Amino acid sequence: MDEITKIVQQALEEIQNCENSSELNSVRVKYLGKKGIVTSLMKKLKELAPEERPIFGAAVNKAKNELLKKINEKLDELSQREKEKKYAAMAVDVTLPGARKDIGHFHILTQIQKELEDIFISMGFSVVEGPEVEDTWHNFDALNTPEWHPARDVQDSFYFTDKILLRTHTSPVQIRTMLNTQPPIAIISPGRVYRRDYDATHLPMFTQMEGLFVDKNVTVKHLKYCLEEMVTRVFGKDAKIRLKPSFFPFTEPSFEVDVWFGNDWLEILGAGMVDPNVFKSVGYDPEIWSGFAFGLGLERIAMVKYGIKDIRDFIRNDVKFLENY
Instruction: Answer whether 250's CB lies under 8 Å from 242's CB.
Output: no
The mark string for 95-114 relative to ligand PHE (x by CB under 6 A, - otherwise) is --------------------
Annotated binding residue 14? no
Min dist CB 320 to ligand PHE, Å, is 31
- Which element (helix H / strand E) includes 172? helix 172-180
Q: Which stretch binds ligand PHE (CB under 6 A): 116-124, 219-227, 292-300, 310-318?
A: 292-300
For the chain, how many residues are written?
325
Short-list 312, 304, 218, CA closest to 262: 304
Q: Using the minimum distance from each CB to ligand PHE, give the nearer residue, 119 or 296.
A: 296
Q: Is 191 left (phi over 0), alpha (psi -120 to 50) or beta?
A: left
State yes or no: residue 169 binds ligand PHE (CB under 6 A): yes
State yes or no: residue 294 binds ligand PHE (CB under 6 A): yes
State yes or no: residue 130 binds ligand PHE (CB under 6 A): no
State yes or no: residue 272 binds ligand PHE (CB under 6 A): yes
- Which element (helix H / strand E) includes 296? strand 290-297
Residues 227-266 that bind ligand PHE (CB under 6 A): 248, 251
DSSP line for 89-137: HH---TTSPP-PPP-----HHHHHHHHHHHHHHHTT-EE----SEEEHH
State yes or no: residue 120 binds ligand PHE (CB under 6 A): no
State yes or no: residue 171 binds ligand PHE (CB under 6 A): yes
- Which element (helix H / strand E) includes 175? helix 172-180
Sheet holding 265-274, edge to edge: 126-127, 185-194, 205-215, 290-297, 265-274, 251-260, 240-248
State yes or no: residue 191 binds ligand PHE (CB under 6 A): no
Min dist CB 248 to ligand PHE, Å, is 4
Min dist CB 163 to ligand PHE, Å, is 19
Among 145, 261, 295, 313, binds ligand PHE (CB under 6 A): 295
Query: Which parts are annotated binding residues for Mg(2+)?
Result: 252
Contact residues for ligand PHE (CB under 6 A)? 169, 171, 248, 251, 270-272, 293-295
